[in-house]
Amino acid sequence: MRFLTCLLCCTALAQVPADRLRDANKEPGNWMSYSRDWTGQRYSPLTQINTTNAANLKVKWAFQMPDPGNQVSPIVVDGVMYLSGPNSATALDATTGRRLWQWKRPLPADYRSVGFGHTNRGPAVLGDAIYITTLDCYLVALDLKTGSERWATKVDDYKLGYSLTVAPLAIPGKILLGTSGGEAGIRGFVDAYDAKTGKRAWRFHTVPGPGEKGNETWSGDAWKTGGGSTWVTGAYDPALKLVYWGVGNPGPLFNGDNRAGDNLYTCSLVALDGETGELRWHFQFTPHDTHDWDSAHVPVLLDAQVNGKSRKLVVNANRNGFYYVLDRITGEFLSGKPYVKQTWAKGLNDKGRPIRIPDMDPTEKGVVVWPNLNGATVWFSPSYSPQTGLFYVAAREIGAEYFKLKAEYKPGMLLAGGGEHPLPADDTWGAIRALDVTTGKMQWEFKLHSPAWAGVLSTAGDLVFSGSDEGNFYALNAKSGKLLWDFQTGSGISANPISFALEGRQYIAISADRVLYVFGL
């Protein structure tokens, strides 16, 4: 039985039409989408907190969340902060942290997660509703003002390994989402639902079936358990009416013997028609992946000069160790280069396809490869600052010994076909790296003791915020990488920072395990 706790009536306007999401830069004090706006840039135009005063940041309030390991990216609209957790949602007064309402959905007793923890990365808002995804595979619409449940739509069957941990993406009239469960041999998809009724508008299968373009890249019936999960939020270009979404690994993860071929559209970026879900183009980063190098990243959209010509771009720092620049209208590969140590490819050809080094696939004996299965970077967000022209990414310098085993599909169970053995800890470290957005050339780096699990926020105050696995939340100079401030949260950080403003005051927020911290001057 679902239940709702309402402690205080919300005084928000409780209306977020699509034009407010489209024009997010007109409301820099709000954070109305997962990445603030549809571009995926995770950039705040606010300037009050800047390089001259960041050292003065203090905790203004903190909120204790019920679930550990929280990865939520909050939404802030008109003075109210909206949080989500695994099968829960909460509204807070963004000035004080006082709880306004809370909603929970019980998790079925037989639910099991395969290859991921109990987490949720954030809600979406559109109109007068907030949208939550649940571990037991429902999309739920709640009243933005009261938290009362409007409708709940079943997306798929959790007993087969499907689960929802993604922050939905709201576009005009629709709520988009992707599924977790690629480790369980699911068949992945990107879905769109009518925002008012919850009725499914379209579904794009990331693993094509017989008669669909791309099915020829799978041998036999391998497509039926092909993976291709879509568990990280996409981006949207309203002018092109295109949705951009990253696609995860094929299955089995480490044994590709029975799935000969490139295995489209796994480890790819797909551009979909926002109205119909029709595939406009795709780009595959890692054909026939055998290292669990998901391409489940937030695509970053921007316009920039490339070779003297203005281009509409989508850029991606990929889990496989390469940074890519693509034309977002056509999917044309423009440039790419490594941004971490990688030992599996000599480089990329003129189409962006990797030039593989022989004998780097997992074997029964084991083979050492960089990066490891959690990649050069993982799900957490990068950031792009149009002010500096730099792309900021939390990079992971870490390899592993990959090994292969036999794989047998059982519904709802792990379909790995192998795994990895870690290398000595002394060989691993991390960094925040600033890359030239059109070339991928590193401009500076801030080294970390261990590979990062936290995302990056850049601001017009020439700051970059991120967190460490040791619990430090910190601010860097966006132009130089110089450390300006840090705060020990007491727990490892595996979430994305945001910034918002209330009554002329700018704030920075980050989740660290069970605690959401809000900082200000």
Q: Is the sign of the CA dihedral 267, 273, 276, 280 positive or negative?
A: negative
The 3-state DSSP class for residue 33 equals coil
Q: What is the Cα–Cα distance from 121 to 485, expressed in whole angstroms?
A: 26
Residues near 380 by beta carbon (within 8 Å), at least 6 away in sequence: 71, 394, 452, 453, 454, 455, 456, 494, 495, 496
The token pair that represents 165 in the structure block: 């941990």
Cis upstream peptide for 371 (omega within 30°): yes
The residue whose two tokens read 């595959």 is 284
N- to C-terminal Cα separation, the chain: 43
Q: What is the Cα–Cα distance from 385 to 415, expressed in whole angstroms?
A: 39
| Cβ–Cβ < 8 Å for 62, 518 | yes
H or E stretch covering 393: strand 390-397
Residue-by-residue DSSP string for 95-107: TT--EEEEEE-PP
**Catalytic annotation on 436?**
no
**Active-site entry in 292, 294, 361, 462:** 292
Q: What is the Cα–Cα distance from 295 to 244, expressed in whole angstroms?
A: 12
Q: Just list the catalytic residues.
A: 292
